[in-house]
């Protein structure tokens, strides 16, 4: 029998709130195992659920007059730069350099 979406979402929210590992989700308390919650999260992410849900939530908040954009921030990791930019060249590696052999 398939675990209801609400139970899987409760498992995902439990991990987000507490920071526990997926294997440590108390199945009795949330209604599903951590593995099930993780798989459902993966499936929802691949299906593009989160951006659509975000857009719906913003729309509902606007309609109810509860969205105040006076105190907001835009982060470049979430908003595409429409005009792009010029990259001067290859970016330097952030990997550690090998130790110099002194022998």
pLDDT, one tens digit per residue, over 64-100 is 999 888 887 777 676 666 666 666 667 677 777 777 7
The CA-based diameter of the chain, rounded to the nearest angstrom, is 72
Sequence-separated contacts (24+) of 8-16 with Cβ below 8 Å:
8/32, 8/36, 8/37, 8/40, 8/41, 9/37, 9/40, 10/37, 11/36, 11/37, 11/38, 11/40, 12/37, 12/38, 12/40, 12/41
Query: What is the model's pLDDT at position 100?
Result: 73
Q: Is the model more confident about 37 or about 1?
A: 37
CA proximity to 7, closest of 20, 22, 28, 24 = 28
Q: Which two tokens stand for residue 23?
A: 């294997």
For residues 15 and 9, give the distance between their C-alpha atoms in angstroms, rounded to a whole number.
10
Mind listing the pLDDT tens digit for each residue in 10-50?
999 999 999 999 999 999 999 999 999 999 999 999 999 99
DSSP 65: T
In this prediction the pTM is 0.63
């Amino acid at each position: 029998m398939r675990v209801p979406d609400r139970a899987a979402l409760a498992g995902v929210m439990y991990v987000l709130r507490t920071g526990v590992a997926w294997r440590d989700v108390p199945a009795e308390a949330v209604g599903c195992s951590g593995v099930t919650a993780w798989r459902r999260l993966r499936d929802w992410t691949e299906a593009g659920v989160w951006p659509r849900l975000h857009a719906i939530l913003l729309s509902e908040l606007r309609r109810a007059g509860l969205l105040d954009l006076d105190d907001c921030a835009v982060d470049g990791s979430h908003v595409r730069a429409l005009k792009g930019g010029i990259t001067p060249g290859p970016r330097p590696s952030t990997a550690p350099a090998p130790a110099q052999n002194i022998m």
